[in-house]
Amino acid sequence: MLDNSKSRVMVLRMGHRIPRDQRVTTHVCLTARALGANGVYVSDCHDGQLAETVMKVVEEFGGDFIVETGVPWRSTILNWKRSNGRVIHLTAYGLPLQNVIADIKSSKLDKLIVVGSEKMPGEVFHLADWNVAITNQPISEVSALGIFLDWLFDHQMREDFPRARKRILPSERGKSVVSSD
At residue 56, the 3 state secondary structure works out as helix
Q: Which residues of 140-165 are buried (b: 16+ CB within 10 A; e: fewer)?
A: ebbebbbbbbebbbeeeebeebeebe
- pLDDT at res. 2: 47
Query: Domain for residue 50, yes or no?
Result: yes
Query: Domain for residue 4, yes or no?
Result: no
At CA 132, angle to CA 127 and CA 138, rounded to 5? 115
Query: Domain for residue 154, yes or no?
Result: yes
Query: Domain for residue 1, yes or no?
Result: no
At residue 19, the 3 state secondary structure works out as coil
Q: Are strands 177-179 and 166-168 parallel, antiparallel or unpaired?
A: antiparallel
In the chain, the amino acid numbered 153 is F
- pLDDT at res. 181: 67
Give kind and range of the element (H or E) at residue 132.
strand 130-133
Low-confidence ranges of the chain (pLDDT < 70): 1-5, 181
Query: Domain for residue 2, yes or no?
Result: no
CATH of the domain at 26: 3.40.1280.10
Query: Domain for residue 3, yes or no?
Result: no
Tell me how many domains the chain contains.
1
What is the span of the domain harbouring residue 59? 9-179
Query: Domain for residue 68, yes or no?
Result: yes
pTM score, two decimals?
A: 0.93
Query: Domain for residue 174, yes or no?
Result: yes
